[in-house]
Amino acid sequence: MAWGKLGSTTLTTTADNIDTSVFTTNKFITLLSHVINSGAVNIGHRVGNTTLDTGSNYAKRTSLSGGSELTPTSQSNWIEDGLSHSGDNFMISNIINIADEEKLAIVFATQSNTAGAGNAPSRTEQVSKWTNTSNQFDIISTINYGSGDFDTDSNLSALGSDMTPAAATSATVQDGAIFEETDTNKHYLLDDGTWTEI
């Protein structure tokens, strides 16, 4: 399985969304999201086929720092944890993206919270689903529905598993080249496309 970048967007100004471009669909997707906060933010993700799905087609089960589970259903996004954060956030989502099945995600996130070594970060563990059973998604967005903004340099990157590696290119070796076989210490000379021991 070859993994490759499907899309990556880094904000050059403050915003409430970080969107990928439409990408080639993949069965397995890993989503990396780093949000630098400018004020308090609430973070979610949306997916879609060509356009983002803003309908009530998302559900999740989540726990913040090992606390009680929350189970919001019929949501308009995969909400990270439903809480407002003022520190940096980093999320990794592993997603299965089969056209005729609900899309399932496992999400792990950490939030820096108050700065300094005297303040522990928080963590979010979540499982989510997008209920579309007609299409694979080919676009993703990290969204903010809080009062603050995502700051400059916040990033969203998507990796896919169904990538086709680039074709191998052949190297051209010029006549007169010498090759040394290190285990036998033999030397060969390339003459008109033929290697001859010297």
Judge contact between 8 and 31, C-beta under 8 A.
Answer: no
Is residue 69 in a domain?
yes
pLDDT tens-digit series, residues 25-76: 999 999 999 999 888 888 889 999 999 999 999 999 988 888 889 898 999 9
CA distance 25 to 49: 9
Residue 31 lies inside a defined structural domain of this protein = yes
Q: Which domain holds residue 69?
A: 4-160
Instruction: Look at residue 170 in the predicted model and tell me its pLDDT.
Output: 63
Sheet strands side by side (includes 178-181): 178-181, 186-191, 194-197
Is 171 part of a structural domain of the chain? no
The alpha carbons of the chain give a radius of gyration, in whole angstroms, of 24
* Model confidence at 22: pLDDT above 90: yes
**Nearest alpha carbon to residue 31 among 176, 179, 163, 161:** 161
Give the residue-averaged pLDDT of 70-84. 79
Residue 197 lies in a domain: no
Which of these, 106, 56, 64, lies nearest to 89 by C-alpha position?
64
- Cα(87)–Cα(191) distance, integer angstroms: 65
pLDDT digits (tens, 9 = 90+) for 123-134: 889 999 999 999
Residue 53 lies in a domain: yes
What is the token pair recorded at 5? Answer: 């970048």
Domain membership of residue 66 (yes or no) is: yes
In a domain, 146, yes or no: yes
Single pTM value for the model = 0.75
101 assigned to some structural domain = yes
How many structural domains does the chain have?
1
Q: Residue 129's domain is classified under what CATH number?
A: 2.60.120
State the Cα angle at 9 between 16 and 138, rounded to 5°: 95
Return the exposure string of 139-149: e unless at least 16 CB atoms fall within 10 Å of the residue's CB, then b: bbbbbbebebb
CA–CA distance, 20 with 22 (Å, rounded to integer): 6
DSSP conformation class of 115: S
